[in-house]
Amino acid sequence: MRSAEFDREHVLRQAMTTFMQHGYSKTSMQKLTQATGLHPGSIYCAFNNKKGLLLASVEQYQKDKNEQFAQLCASHNNIKSALHAFLADIAHPCASSEATKVCLLTRTLSEIDGQDEEVTQVLSNNLSAFERSLESVLNKAMDKGEISSKPSAKERAQFLVMGIYGLRTYASTGNDTQALSRLSEQLLEYVLR
């Protein structure tokens, strides 16, 4: 026997960055071999094809984002400061030109829309899973009496998710940092009203 030589997580993080930077279709296999250090044959052996590598990258992305979010929640003792930090983490890179300014899930979903049912499903599922995890955080805040129960956690979570999508797109139309942070504030104010 002989085991694979590459570090799967490392490869997937390099791949996801490349996908975020150039989008799915403009990320050529050549770019992927350069970014990951793997040769075409190895990629095809480990992930079937380009789409397989995308799906594996998406899985890794979601895993990383979930961990980040859990840590962020653990390090704040009230929902307002937690979500404030969360939105700042989104808005700040948005105004920069880093690859991480976009969301792998929404960018790919928008690009792939109507082209591949499987990828669309996976992305949608991951996005709604994250909405539910926001909902659960809001529910906990209700239990602790930090926010009222009148607009339900679900409604709040939906509006927040919509706002995040909007923020990201808004940021891509030109980096008005001032407006972006003002919009984040207003969004948070409304969600925690």
User: Contact positions toward DNA, by CB under 7 A?
Assistant: 1-6, 25, 27-30, 38-42, 44-46, 49-51
Return the number of the residue (45 or 129) whose C-beta is nearest DNA: 45
Return the number of the residue (7 or 113) whose C-beta is nearest a copy of itself: 113
Residue burial 112-130, b: 16+ Cβ < 10 Å; e: rest: beeeeeebeebbeebbeeb
* DSSP strands (E only) in the chain: none
**Of how many residues is the chain composed?**
193
* 177 part of the interface to a copy of itself, by CB under 8 A: no
* 106 part of the interface to a copy of itself, by CB under 8 A: yes
Nearest distance in Å: CB 145, a copy of itself: 23
Nearest to 39 by CA among 11, 9, 79: 11
CA distances from 135 to 51, 97, 159, 193 (A): 31, 30, 11, 15
Enumerate binding residues for a copy of itself (CB under 8 A): 21-23, 25-26, 97, 102, 106-107, 109-111, 113-115, 123-124, 127-128, 155, 158-159, 161-170, 172-174, 179, 182-183, 186-187, 190
